[in-house]
Amino acid sequence: MQLRFVGCGDAFGSGGRYNTCFHVTGESANFLIDCGASSLPALKRNGISRENIDLVLITHFHGDHFGGLPFLMLDAQFTRRTRPLVIAGPQGIERRLELVMEALFENSSKRERRFDLRIVELNPEAPARFGAVGVMPFPVVHGDSGGPFLGYRIEVEGRIIAFTGDTEWTDALIPLGQNADLFISECSFYDRTVKNHLNLKTLEMHLPEIRPKRLILTHMGEDMLARLNSIACETATDGMVVEI
Domain boundaries along the sequence of the chain: 2-243
Q: Which residues 6+ apart lie within 8 Å of 230 measured at CB?
A: none
Superfamily holding 2-243: Ribonuclease Z/Hydroxyacylglutathione hydrolase-like (3.60.15.10)
d(CA 100, CA 77): 17
Residue spans of alpha helices (H) in the chain = 39-45, 63-66, 69-78, 93-104, 173-177, 200-210, 222-225
Q: Which amino acid is at 73?
A: M
Name the residue among 82, 83, 94, 139 with its Cα closest to residue 120: 94
**How far is the C-alpha of 11 from the C-alpha of 27, rounded, in Å?**
32
pLDDT digits (tens), the chain, 244 positions: 999 999 999 999 999 999 999 999 999 999 999 999 999 999 999 999 999 999 999 999 999 999 999 999 999 999 999 999 999 999 999 999 999 999 999 999 988 899 999 999 999 999 999 999 999 999 999 998 999 999 999 999 999 999 999 999 999 999 999 999 999 999 999 999 999 999 999 999 999 999 999 999 999 999 999 999 999 999 999 999 999 9
Tell whether the torsion through CA atoms of 105, 107, 111 and 116 is positive or negative: positive
CA distance 143 to 133: 28
- Other C-beta atoms closer than 10 Å to the C-beta of 33 total 24
Q: Give, in order, the Cα–Cα distances in Å from 190 to each of 54, 113, 140, 234.
A: 36, 45, 20, 14
* 124/111 Cα distance (integer angstroms): 32
pLDDT digits (tens, 9 = 90+) for 12-60: 999 999 999 999 999 999 999 999 999 999 999 999 999 999 999 999 9
- Name the DSSP letter for residue 40: H
SS3 helix, strand, coil % of the chain, rounded to 5?
25, 25, 50
pLDDT tens by residue, 47-71: 999 999 999 999 999 999 999 999 9
pTM of the model: 0.97
Integer Cα distance of 138 and 124 in angstroms:
5
For residues 143 and 196, the answer to whether their CB atoms sit within 8 Å is: yes
Of 148, 91, 94, which Cα lies nearest the Cα of 117? Answer: 94
Count the Cβ atoms, other than its own, within 10 Å of residue 155. Answer: 18
- DSSP classification of residue 16: G
**Backbone phi, then psi, for 77, in 5-degree steps?**
-70, -45
